[in-house]
Amino acid sequence: MRKTLFSATGLVKQFHELRATDNVDIDVKPNEVHALIGPNGAGKSTLVNLLSGLLPVDAGRIVLDGRDITSLSAHQRVRAGLSRCFQVTNLFKQSSTLDNLRLAIQAHEGNNFRLFGKRDAEQALTTQAIALGARVGLVGDAVLQAPAGSLPHGAQRQLDIALALAARPKVLLLDEPMAGMGPDESARTVELIRKLRQDMAVLLIEHDMDAVFQLADRISVLVYGKVLATGTVEQIRSNPRVQEVYLGT
């Protein structure tokens, strides 16, 4: 058994009468893509918000690489190695793609650039920004100079992932990265996530089951705030309870 890199145990989140997260246990191993699936309203985004620190938990414990991060702020969790992308993109839409990349790198590594003179620092930052864009498939002057808001939807999602990568995460949380993408964009995103897995672990929320079955090392099924089952693609596909409540509908 490979060791666990990231885990949540006994997570609870109550919204008035509704228990959106009901005693959830989930764990992610190094270089694993762990997919989280479930019907609309199952509590997937709530869980990601709890894990990333956007929402405080009512109960439970979150551990990243041996460190209890339950009481850390969202910002501190990013510094600890947990990055997320948003279902709604988080870009500076008027600024160029390149400037978005530069800003993200500067936010995480600003101190490193103080070692350089101003001109060299600008140059080093731009070089890193171009490399970061290339990592997610954003290449060429046309793309890099365009305002981020003018990029095709798929490219905006790629940029969103790049911004999360700027923090050099150990674990990347992706909430429906393929939402609104056409087949070509989805296929490219599958390839991108496959490549990212070489360097980090990914917790992937995704409705596109083809993508999930292609990518996931393990799948957890969330229903009414509870984990119904966790297992390999084959285990989940053949689980009668999963078929009944989710795949069968």
Binding site for Mg ion (CB under 5 A): 44-45
Closest approach of Cβ 218 to ligand ADP, in Å?
18
Rounded Cα distance, 213 and 201, in Å? 17
Considering only residues 19-38, where is the footprint of ligand ADP by CB under 6 A?
20, 38
Output the DSSP codes for 39-82: -TTSSHHHHHHHHHTSS--SEEEEEETTEE-TTS-HHHHHHHTE
Rounded Cα distance, 16 and 144, in Å? 45
Nearer to ligand ADP by Cβ, of 19 and 108: the residue is: 19
Considering only residues 184-223, where is the footprint of ligand ADP by CB under 6 A?
none
Nearer to Mg ion by Cβ, of 166 and 173: the residue is: 173
Beta strands in 125-225 (DSSP E): 171-175, 201-205, 218-223
Residue 146 near ligand ADP by CB under 6 A: no
Structure tokens at 84: 């997320």
Task: Tell me, rounded to whole angstroms, the distance of Cα 130 from its chain centroid.
Answer: 21
Residue 45 near ligand ADP by CB under 6 A: yes
- Contact range with ligand ADP by CB under 6 A, out of 41-49, 124-132, 192-200, 241-249: 41-49
Structure tokens at 129: 């920004």
Residue 18 near ligand ADP by CB under 6 A: yes
Nearer to ligand ADP by Cβ, of 41 and 56: the residue is: 41
**Residue from the set 35, 46, 132, 200 that interacts with ligand ADP by CB under 6 A:** 46
Number of H helices, E strands in the chain: 10, 10
Q: Which residues bind ligand ADP (CB under 6 A)?
A: 15, 18, 20, 38, 40-46
